[in-house]
Amino acid sequence: MPVITQRLRVTARLTELARVRQFVHGCALREGLPERETFACELAADEAFVNIVVHAYGGESDGPVFVRCRGVANGLLISFVDEGMAWDPTPPSAPPWESTETEITVGGLGRLIIHRAMDGVRFTRRGNRNILSMCKFRPGFSPAE
């Protein structure tokens, strides 16, 4: 059976967030992910998209954001591609509530949420493009180590 990749192109505007979420939700359902895993994909996609708008583009713009979903062995691969500035999706070493800092600020949890919600996360920069790939597996599946 051929691998089908679903594609969505939006601009880096927060008004597009609902379209991105609905797109990822539909892709997860088509791949047979249960409700919990589908929600994790939506949550990570929300955070990824907002990070692209805020960090890669420096705020809302007409810059393109390409979202691709593809079924993989026992799961779903979601990729975000943008043409903004490079941004670091590495999660913080510790969540703010485990920090010795006395004040917790708003924001900064997106990367942590992405890494905790998904089973695999990879970021690359090719030319002028950021590529964030996230994978979610069906329950019970563990990729070979």
The pLDDT score that the predictor gives to residue 96 is 55
Residues 68, 117, 127, 107, CA torsion sign: positive
> Helix, strand or coil for residue 119?
coil
Model confidence pLDDT, tens digit, residues 12-43: 999 999 999 999 999 999 999 999 999 999 99
74-93 mean pLDDT:
85
The pLDDT score that the predictor gives to residue 4 is 77
Best CA proximity match to 80, nearest among 2, 12, 1, 4: 12
DSSP run (H or E) holding 36: helix 35-51
Taking residue 108's Cβ as centre, other Cβ atoms within 10 Å add up to: 11
> Helix, strand or coil for residue 83?
coil
Amino acid at 89: P
Instruction: For the domain covering 5-137, report its CATH number.
Output: 3.30.565.10
> Helix, strand or coil for residue 47?
helix
Q: How confident is the model at residue 67 (pLDDT cuts 50, 70, 90)?
A: very high
